[in-house]
Structure 1
Amino acid sequence: MKSMRKRYYHFNHRDSIHKVEPVSSAQLEKGKRARPKRSLVKFILLVLLLVFLVMISYVAYSSISAANNVLSDNIKISDIFNKSTLKQTDGVTNILLLGKGGDNHSGGQLTDTILLARVRQSDKKIALISIPRDLLVQIPHDGKAKINEAYANGWNDEKNKDKKADAGAKLASQTVESVVGVSIHYYVTVDFVGFKELVDELGGVTVYVDRDINDPYYPKDTVTANGGFQESTGYSPFYLKAGRQVLNGSTALKYARSRETTSDFDRAKRQQKLLLAIKEKTLSLGILANPVKLSEIINTLGSHIKTNMNIAEMKELVNLIKEADQNQVINKVIDNNPQDGLLVSENDGSYYLVPKAGSFIEVQKLVKNIFETTTVETAEIEVFNGSGVSGLANQFAQDLKEKGFNVTKIETNKDIVAKSVVYDGANNSSASSYIKSCLKGAEIKSGQEGIIKIILGKDYVGS
């Protein structure tokens, strides 16, 4: 009897009669081996997809957990994908930036840094306006006091004990609104620890130091290894050389705080520089597009920074400021400069600053028209440093820029000269008049039409 063998067939559809052809045992074995391979590949892809989804979920959860320490209102995952319209008035978004000492610092809720950032949405222009802490104002429900007390008053109010930071920022916002005459749409508060940690997370920031800083009375305070602040008695002298400097968190904090050998107004200018340096470093590292790194930074900052912006509003604001030209940023410090300051000082046992006009009408006019009054005239100003002292040309040029003048060149002169010289090609202009008032002993010569060339000599010691 012949042995019986199983035979397998397949249909060949190319044949019109659909012949049934036998399948060899080799082909059969090959098919058997192929199926598990395909299944294994599918399994691996499925596992990788699950791992990816878990990672995304973890990053989202971590980001939200960290963000809820910073935001005044808790958020959900869906908030990340929501679209939002950034608040604005007449096309301008106003953000109040408040810096304070924080926990373990005497007067830790006094906001010695008060800075209004105005962002015009149509052309992405930014204006930074610093308000001095000693300005005498009317704080709602609390009477007259220095403006830096407004946040502390809201924070310390017993009825606000569940939302101290939000209450403090709201009262500070209301107080600042009465001074500047525009609505405050958002606030951001940061303490010493938060500022130091932020700069360190960015790997340091680069600033140009206009002049040597030598402060023998800088307080002997430290940010501890566990992220706390420790206030100590005595001094820790702070010295920083003029020129381009890369600052770590501790040095940046000292650069922002030091004032004993300069002034609050100089300190305000340095704080604006640091803010712009932080913006540039953040954008250059692509951190805002890196959710993992962003989550790490927010988690590090923790309770040291607070804001009332939601995630969607932050995203929209970032898209605006990353397109802003840093060279076009308008910097203004409201001060008591004898030439064009809007404030005057008073001392009746305590030192105060009050508006020169008797009300804040001139301050409000400045703030409201900040984008329209930035260029006083078209005269091009070139500043050359022939004094032999590093940083003087940058310092002088920065002062001119803050007054709205058009500085087009800052360079070191090829020779050191004894006396300052002004080559005036824009005589009778406001720029020419202002420069001559600053350099009273300078030699005045005629210059190329439309250009004012300044050579700072050894006789110029800085403002």
Structure 2
Amino acid sequence: MSDGSSPRSPGLNPLRQRLLIGLAGLVILLAAGWLALIVVSRIDELFFPGQGISLLPALPGVQQGDGGLEGQINILVLGLDRRPREGNEPTRTDTMFVLTIDAQSKTAGILGIPRDLWVEIPVRESNGFYEERVNTAYLTGERQRYPGGGPGLVKKVIEHNLGISIDHYVIIDFEGFIEIIDELGGIDVYVEEEIYDPFYSRTELPGDYYPLQFEVGEQHMDGETALDYSRTRYGSDDLARIHRQQQVIFAAIDKAMERNLVDIDTLLGLWGQYKDAIDTDINDLQAPGFAALAAQIDPTRISALSLGAATRPWTTPEGAAVLLADKELVQALVQALFSDRELLEEAALVEVQNGAGADGLAKQVVDYLAGFGFPSGSLAAADTGDGSIRPMTEIVDFTGKDHTVQRLASLLSVPAEQIRRGGPGDLALRTVEDADILVILGADAQTRDFTVETSGG
């Protein structure tokens, strides 16, 4: 039996940690703030050299590390994958999640919302509702000129169905990234697995398709190639496609930071193209404050989960395949993400060892815990150090992270008599040297269901 996986690495660049789809939201905030700051700083250098004059103090977040932001801030992030045949017409959302940031505790949470989630959508100018997929709400809001447009209606849908109040929104149009990438001279992306899509189409018009292929390895991509790479669905699930979209965003930011952007025309052109790709009610002067706050959040204090874990497949009377939510499970997930700040504040590193004799069980439990709000970077799966089989599951607490221990016990159904404080003689049980808590799965764990869907698509 093998359950080895890499524990968190303190030296790992936070932008390189794959925290499902939601880390892209933090990256967008960082990108917005970085671009705003660099634009203004270049203007300072060009127009006020050596004069002691600067526009920077006028920007929220520059003088104060967190921009004066307070409390919990919920940001709705929508991804649009508009095809050329659609022109500027409204479209359905391809990606949807809520990013929540706690300015006081410097923690963040990400709630992925499946596109096929069946929800109640408010009817304009009435108190009624109708049922439809959640990814249609933006399109309906734009077409019907709902107050606040598409974002306004999606916010109402999220508030009504999930009980989450939305403070701001960010809309990402991946088509707009073509111009940004070309302005940067292309990007370099490492293709992690071979992709071959024999019927790829940029327009989705009849007969307009061709083979698309990417070999494994580092590849230089122009804007259109990068869009093709992030857009293709063939042979992979939504989570893999979302990861490719993240790669493209990361690579564009890396390239922008590598370039010596001193030409004001180029810089302002890049800013204009960024504005074309991003639509948000976070204004240009607010963005650095959000970026400064996001930069203070350690990746181990980011929790990511999906509502997919609280849904089941259902076919509507019209024959549409959708996801039906279990309201009690939905509320449990929402509460775990938006209320359980103590879990993130304790920031415990949890090692899960497979002492049950079932292949892959520790990895399955790690994925299960991540699906209920445990940060992915705080979990490690391994075999027992001595290879022994244990009859009962045990939790060993080495550093007094009581809240995390109780959350583990509740999710894994471990009774109090199987929880203990670790002593010096227990240190040798760990295979992860700095683990705060050790969970040793016993044979009793094989009778439990640890299946959880973590995709936010």
Q: TM-score, normalised by structure 1?
A: 0.56
Structure 2 residue corresponding to 1:422, chosen from 373, 383, 386: 383
| 1:235, distance to aligned residue in structure 2 (A) | 3.0
Instruction: Show the 5 A alignment for 1:183-222.
Output: 183-202=165-184, 211-221=193-203
Verify: 1:256 aligned to 2:230, yes or no: yes
Verify: 1:345 aligned to 2:313, yes or no: yes
User: SS state of the match for residue 451, structure 1?
Assistant: coil
| 1:296, distance to aligned residue in structure 2 (A) | 1.6
| 1:99, distance to aligned residue in structure 2 (A) | 1.6
Residue identity opposite 2:98 in structure 1: L
**Aligned partners of 1:82, 1:327: CA distance in 2, in Å?**
29
Verify: 1:334 aligned to 2:307, yes or no: yes
Residue identity opposite 2:142 in structure 1: W
Contact 2:300 2:377 in 1 (8 A): no
Instruction: Show the 5 A alignment for 1:87-102.
Output: 91-102=71-82
Residue identity opposite 1:171 in structure 2: L
Verify: 1:117 aligned to 2:99, yes or no: yes
**Corresponding residue number in structure 1 for 2:420:** none
Q: CA, structure 1 residues 320+331, in 2 after alignment: closer, same or farther (shift >3 Å)? A: same
| 1:252, distance to aligned residue in structure 2 (A) | 3.7
Contact 1:220 1:232 in 2 (8 A): no
User: SS state of the match for residue 91, structure 2?
Assistant: coil
The C-alpha deviation readout for 1:394-417, integer Å capped at 9, x for no partner, is x9999589443776899xxxxxxx
Contact 2:182 2:223 in 1 (8 A): yes
**Aligned partners of 1:79, 1:302: CA distance in 2, in Å?**
20
- Tell me which structure has the larger Cα radius of gyration: 1
**Aligned partners of 1:132, 1:214: CA distance in 2, in Å?**
26
User: SS state of the match for residue 131, structure 2?
Assistant: strand
Residue identity opposite 1:101 in structure 2: D
Residue identity opposite 2:314 in structure 1: E
Structure 1 residue corresponding to 2:281, chosen from 308, 327, 333: 308
Contact 2:155 2:166 in 1 (8 A): yes
**Aligned partners of 2:187, 2:233: CA distance in 1, in Å?**
20
**Aligned partners of 2:81, 2:175: CA distance in 1, in Å?**
8
| 1:344, distance to aligned residue in structure 2 (A) | 1.3
| 1:115, distance to aligned residue in structure 2 (A) | 2.5
Structure 2 residue corresponding to 1:366, chosen from 336, 348, 368: 336
Gaps of 5+ in 1: 1-51, 58-77, 161-165, 222-229, 336-340, 384-394, 411-419, 436-446, 454-462
**Corresponding residue number in structure 2 for 1:156:** 143
Residue identity opposite 1:364 in structure 2: V
Query: Alignment identity in percent?
Result: 23
| 1:255, distance to aligned residue in structure 2 (A) | 3.9
| 1:155, distance to aligned residue in structure 2 (A) | 0.7
**Aligned partners of 1:382, 1:291: CA distance in 2, in Å?**
55
**Aligned partners of 1:200, 1:245: CA distance in 2, in Å?**
15
| 1:310, distance to aligned residue in structure 2 (A) | 1.6
Q: CA, structure 1 residues 451+315, in 2 after alignment: closer, same or farther (shift >3 Å)? A: same
**Corresponding residue number in structure 1 for 2:120:** 138
Q: TM-score, normalised by structure 2?
A: 0.57
Q: What is the Cα-based RMSD across aligned positions, in Å?
A: 5.0
Counting matched residue pairs gives 334
Contact 1:201 1:297 in 2 (8 A): yes
| 1:202, distance to aligned residue in structure 2 (A) | 4.7
**Corresponding residue number in structure 2 for 1:81:** 58
The C-alpha deviation readout for 1:127-170, integer Å capped at 9, x for no partner, is 3332111111111215211111111111101577xxxxx51111
| 1:119, distance to aligned residue in structure 2 (A) | 2.6
**Aligned partners of 2:294, 2:104: CA distance in 1, in Å?**
12
Gaps of 5+ in 2: 1-42, 49-54, 124-128, 355-362, 396-407, 413-426, 434-452
**Aligned partners of 1:316, 1:203: CA distance in 2, in Å?**
29
Q: Which has the higher contact order (CA 8 A, sep 6+)?
A: 2
Structure 1 residue corresponding to 2:350, chosen from 374, 379, 384: 379
| 1:109, distance to aligned residue in structure 2 (A) | 1.4
Residue identity opposite 1:127 in structure 2: G
Residue identity opposite 1:154 in structure 2: G
The C-alpha deviation readout for 1:14-35, integer Å capped at 9, x for no partner, is xxxxxxxxxxxxxxxxxxxxxx
